[in-house]
Amino acid sequence: MKRLILLSILCLVAITVRAQSLDLRVHDPVMIKEDGTYYLFCTGRGISMFSSTDMKEWKEEKPVFDEAPAWTTEAVSDFRGHFWAPDISYYDGKYYLYYSVSSFAKNTSAIGLVTNTTLDPEDPAYKWEDQGMILQSVPNRDLWNAIDPNIIVDENGYPWMSFGSFWEGLKLVKLIPKRTALAEPQEWHTIARRKRSDFLDDKEPGDAALEAPFIFKKDSMYYLFVSWDYCCRGKNSTYKVVVGRSDDVTGPYLDKEGKSMADGGGTLVVEGDDRWAGVGHNSAYTFDDTDYLVFHGYDMNDNGSPKLIIGEMKWDDEGWPVIDDNILK
């Protein structure tokens, strides 16, 4: 694996910094724009929410949930309202916010959905309405983990949800057009995976450290961004982002060397340095004809605190994103 990472460093994508909100502490940021305002959602109690007009200065808004929906503790008995890794998208007049509830280090997890017709808390129509559970993983039944959702729409207009962490890899499943349930008959794909050890017990996910899939379409290609290694360890975090691409939403997603991400492939996009212990769990967007990568990093200058980083993505002649060595300086 070290050899693969060293080779990957010679490859890929460049990102130039548009803005860094060094005082904004976040995990797992996702973003969307409505009427000139950017809205950021991230891991936190009730699902943390921020707003900004310039992606630099952020205002903390009231969390999405005052209290967790009743179904969450039925699915995950030790859940206490700290929601993980949301995903935001817009469809048919509503904003769709998917979110994760989970037991730490287990695949006792579920993905839910809450919707709103506006993101402006001052709008009289502002009201989050929970749509319940979309997907659930159960120990001793599933070798995948129902967290870290992301929605991508294929060339035929069908929505797909990518999700997962560790275990036997990251999955892609087809949704119904309304995006509120799995399509039937169900269609599943493994889109990324790393070598793992056998389970030691129901609390040990093995060594297959990958998570946070995010699929971004650029022209006719689908790009699968994935986070490798370990988050959430402050100064000891080893997070990094890798990518592969495919001309089909279901894959296979190949890295720059032609290796499938389902077989451990992945071309390095960005990793930590002396300033940042680890960087990862990205999302990707196009705003006003400019492409952005949004992620968090663990700031060595602030005792390893997780901070928001927003970078502008450029693309080389072969259609891969190109890296600015100063992105994390």
Would you state the pLDDT for residue 66? 95
Q: Which of 152-166, 187-201, 230-244 has the weakest average pLDDT?
A: 187-201
Mean pLDDT of 236-244: 94
Mean pLDDT of 218-223: 96
Please indicate, yes or no, if residue 321 is contained in any of the structural domains: no
Q: Which of 19-23, 87-91, 138-142, 172-176 has the weakest average pLDDT?
A: 19-23
Please indicate, yes or no, if residue 294 is contained in any of the structural domains: yes
- Residues annotated as catalytic are 28, 211
Q: Name the residue range of residue 71's domain.
A: 2-314
Q: Tell me the CATH number at 103.
A: 2.115.10.20
Quick: pLDDT tens for 25-41: 999 999 999 999 999 99
Please indicate, yes or no, if residue 322 is contained in any of the structural domains: no
Would you state the pLDDT for residue 189? 97
Would you state the pLDDT for residue 139? 87
Please indicate, yes or no, if residue 140 is contained in any of the structural domains: yes
Mean pLDDT of 98-127: 94
Please indicate, yes or no, if residue 290 is contained in any of the structural domains: yes
Please indicate, yes or no, if residue 327 is contained in any of the structural domains: no
Residue 203 pLDDT exceeds 50: no
Q: What is the tally of structural domains in the chain?
A: 1
Please indicate, yes or no, if residue 204 is contained in any of the structural domains: yes
Quick: pLDDT tens for 70-97: 999 999 988 999 999 999 999 999 999 9
Residue 22 pLDDT exceeds 80: no
Mean pLDDT of 170-175: 98
Position 101: which residue type? V
Please indicate, yes or no, if residue 323 is contained in any of the structural domains: no
**Average pLDDT, rounded, for the chain:** 88
Quick: pLDDT tens for 182-197: 999 999 999 999 986 5
